[in-house]
Structure 1
Amino acid sequence: MTMMLFRHAGARRRARLWIGLCLTLLAAVAGLRAGPASAQEIMPYEFTPLPAGTNLALGYYAYGHNTDYSIARGPTLRNSGLETHIGIARFVHYGEVAGLRAGVQAFQTFGSLQDARIGGQRLDGAFGAQNIALSAFVWLYINEASQTNVIVVGFLNPPTGTYDRFAVLNLGDNRMRGTAQIGLQQGFGEHFGLDLAYDAQFYGDNDRAFPGSGLLSQATTHRIQAWANWRWTPSFSTSVGYTGSWGGEQRLNGVLIGARTEIQRIRFHSGYFIDPTLQVGLELNHDLRAVGGFKQEFGAILRVLKAF
C-alpha cells in the first residue's frame, strides 16, 4: 500500500511538472496555432489567374474544437482543450507586372480563444487580432490549353497583432514573419483538377516572450498542401485536401525548449457560385496528428467571396 501511494504521488508530481512546462511553453511561444493556421493556407482553385483589374472581397469564419495537448519529445496531456472562433477579412487585386499576371492582397485575422485548459489546468482566454498579412504574387507560367498555372507568392507579417507578454494565450506574436510560397494548379479535362503548394515561413525573434525570459527564436517552418478537385457543374465543386507541416523548433536564449510544429490534417471542401460573382464555400477538417500544441479534433471554415 505504501509503495502504491508513493507511485501515485510521483505520477502526480510528474504530471504537474509537465503541465507547468506546457504552460511555460505556451507563454514563450509567439502566437497560437488556431483556426486557419495562416494566410498561406490555400483553398481549392486558389491559384486561378483572374483577369487584370479584378478585385475580390472575402470573409471567413473558422471554428476549431481542439483536444489533446502534446509537447515535442514529451507526453500528451489528455485533459486538455481549446475552442477557437476566428474571423478573416481579405482583399485581393489582380493586375499585371512586366507582362506577367500578378496581384497584391491583404489579410486581417481576429477572434477569440476560449475554454482553454492543459492537463485540467484552466487558462484565461484571449481576444484580439493577429498580425496583418501583406502579400504579393505573380504567375510565372500560364498555359490555358494544358490548364497549367505556376505561381509564386510572398507574405510579410509585421508585429501588429494583439500581444500581452503577461498572458499565456495571445493571437499576436510580437515578431516579424515572412513566407515564400510556390503553387501549381493543374486541370485534367472539364471536371478534375489538382492544387499543390509548398511554403517556408521564416521568423524574427520575440524579445518579450514572457517576463524575464530573454530571447525566443524559431527555425523555419515548412508546409505542403494538396487539393483534389471535382467540378460537378460550372457552379458547384467538391474537394478533398491534405496539409502537412514540420520544422519550427524553438529556442529560448539559444536552448531548445522542446516545441516545434508538426501537423497532418485532412480537409473536405465544397463551393457553390450563387451567381458568377458570388461564391460560398464550406470546409471541414480534422488533425490526423499534431505535435507541439493542441490537436484540432474538428474544424470548420465558412467563406464568402465577392468579385467586382
Structure 2
Amino acid sequence: MRSTLKNTPFKSLAMGSALALTTGFFSATTQAAEIATDPGDYTPLPAGVNLGILYGQYATRDTVYADGDKVPVDAGLNTIIGLARFVHYMDIGGVIVDPQIIVPFGKVELEEPFGPLQPTSESGVGDPIIGATAWVLNNPDDQQWVGLSAFASVPVGQYDDDKGPVNIGENRWKGIFQAAYVKHLSNSVVLDLIAEYSVYGDNDDFLGFKREQEDAQSLQGHLRYLLSKQSHVALSYYHSFGGETTVGGQDQDDRVNTNRWLATYATFVDPTVQLQVQAGQDINVENGFEEDTRVNFRVLKVF
C-alpha cells in the first residue's frame, strides 16, 4: 500500500489507492486559515478584562475539486467543532497584550466510497493553541489599531497514527502569525484587515509515513456595520493559499487556493454576555472539498 502514494491523488483517480485519495481530499480541506478571525477580534479591551468564549462550528462538504475541476466521486466531509477560549488583557510597558489559550474539540466524519479505509469518523480533544496579541498601535481617539499576534499549536491532542487524516489532533507543532489593522471608516462602519502566515512541523507517523507541509497564508477581511452600541452585522471574506503537503516524500498536489464568505450578527443580550451567529460557504476551491454549508455560534462572557 505504501508504494501507491507516489500516485497523485487527484490527477490519477484510477491509479491512486483509497489511502492516497482520502489523504489528499482531507488534507486539502484542513489547510484553511489556522485561526479564522471574527469581526471585532482585533479591537483591544482595557487591561484587566477577561473573556471566556465558547464556539460551535458545523460545516458540510460534498464536492471535491482538483486543480479547479470537479472530481466525479461520491464523497463528503462533515465537521462539528467546538472551541473553548480564555483571553486576559494586560498592560506591559504601555502596550496592551492578551495572552490566551484555545482548546478545540469535536468530531470529523468522512463519508467516502472507499470501503477498506476505516474508521471514517473520530471525536475528541484537539491540540491546544497558546499565544497572544500585542497592539503596537492603540489609538482609540483616531479609532484605529494595529495588532501583531503569535500562536503555537501544541501536539498533545488525541491522535491515532492508524487513523491518519481522520483525527482531531495533528501530531505536529504549528506556528501561526497574524498582523491586523482596524479602522473606523465612519461612526457606524468598521474595517478589519488581517494577514496570516503559518508554518508546520512534521508529522512523523501519518499512517506509517512522514507528512510534511509547506508554509500557508491567509488574508481575512471584515466589514462591520454598528447597528447600536450593543449590536452589529458584518460581512467577512477569507482567502487561504499555499500549504502543499508531501506524504512519504511524495507530493500530494494539494496546494490550497480557497475563497470563502461569512455573514455575522452579534449582540449583547446582557452587559457582559454577547451572542453571535454566522453563516456562509466557500466561493471557490482549487483543491479538496468545497464547503457548501457553514454555521457558527459563539457565546462570549466578559468578566
Same fold (TM over 0.5): yes
Give the C-alpha shift of residue 83 in structure 1.
1.7
Q: Distance in 2 between matches of 1:194 and 1:171?
A: 33
Task: Show structure 2 runs of 5+ residues with no match.
Answer: 1-11
Q: Distance in 1 between matches of 2:136 and 2:168?
A: 34
Aligned residues: 287
Give the C-alpha shift of residue 137 in structure 1.
1.2
Q: Distance in 1 between matches of 2:205 and 2:302?
A: 41
Give the structure 1 partner of residue 192 of structure 2.
Answer: 195
Give the C-alpha shift of residue 210 in structure 1.
1.1
Give the C-alpha shift of residue 73 in structure 1.
7.7
Q: Distance in 1 between matches of 2:247 and 2:152?
A: 24
1:63 aligns with 2:45: no
Tell me the SS of whatever aligns to 2:39: coil
Q: Distance in 1 between matches of 2:60 and 2:70?
A: 20
How is 1:104-253 mapped onto 2 (pairs within 5 angstroms)? 104-114=99-109, 116-118=110-112, 120-121=113-114, 124-168=120-164, 169-211=166-208, 213=209, 215-253=210-248
Stretch of structure 1 that moved more, 75-84 or 17-26? 17-26
Tell me the SS of whatever aligns to 2:78: strand
Give the C-alpha shift of residue 94 in structure 1.
0.1
1:37–1:199 CA distance, 2 compared to 1 (3 A): closer
Give the C-alpha shift of residue 185 in structure 1.
0.9
Q: Is the 8 A contact 1:22 1:71 kept in 2?
A: no
> 1:281-301: CA deviations, max 9, x gaps?
001010012233221100000
Give the structure 2 partner of residue 25 of structure 1.
Answer: 24
Give the C-alpha shift of residue 217 in structure 1.
1.2
Q: Percent identity?
A: 26
Bigger relative CO (Cα 8 Å, ≥ 6 apart) = 2
> 1:258-281: CA deviations, max 9, x gaps?
122221101100001112211000
Within the candidate set 260, 264, 272, 1:265 is matched to 260
1:292 aligns with 2:292: no
Q: Distance in 1 between matches of 2:88 and 2:284?
A: 36
Q: Distance in 1 between matches of 2:183 and 2:23?
A: 45
**Structure 1 outlier segments of 4+, above 6 Å:** none
Q: Is the 8 A contact 2:29 2:289 kept in 1?
A: no
Give the C-alpha shift of residue 19 in structure 1.
6.3
Tell me the SS of whatever aligns to 1:146: coil
Q: Distance in 2 between matches of 1:96 and 1:246?
A: 35
Give the C-alpha shift of residue 78 in structure 1.
4.3
The structure with the larger Rg is 1
> 1:186-229: CA deviations, max 9, x gaps?
11222100111001000001110112x2x221110000000000
TM-score, normalised with respect to structure 2: 0.88
Give the C-alpha shift of residue 145 in structure 1.
2.1
Give the C-alpha shift of residue 158 in structure 1.
1.2
1:282 aligns with 2:280: no
Tell me the SS of whatever aligns to 1:23: helix
Q: Distance in 1 between matches of 2:215 and 2:234?
A: 29
> 1:163-193: CA deviations, max 9, x gaps?
1111141111111000110001111222100
1:207–1:73 CA distance, 2 compared to 1 (3 A): farther
Q: CA RMSD in A?
A: 2.1
1:130–1:37 CA distance, 2 compared to 1 (3 A): farther
Tell me the SS of whatever aligns to 1:207: strand
Tell me the SS of whatever aligns to 1:241: strand
Give the C-alpha shift of residue 72 in structure 1.
4.8
1:209–1:292 CA distance, 2 compared to 1 (3 A): farther
Give the C-alpha shift of residue 24 in structure 1.
4.2
Q: Distance in 1 between matches of 2:33 and 2:300?
A: 20
Tell me the SS of whatever aligns to 2:22: helix
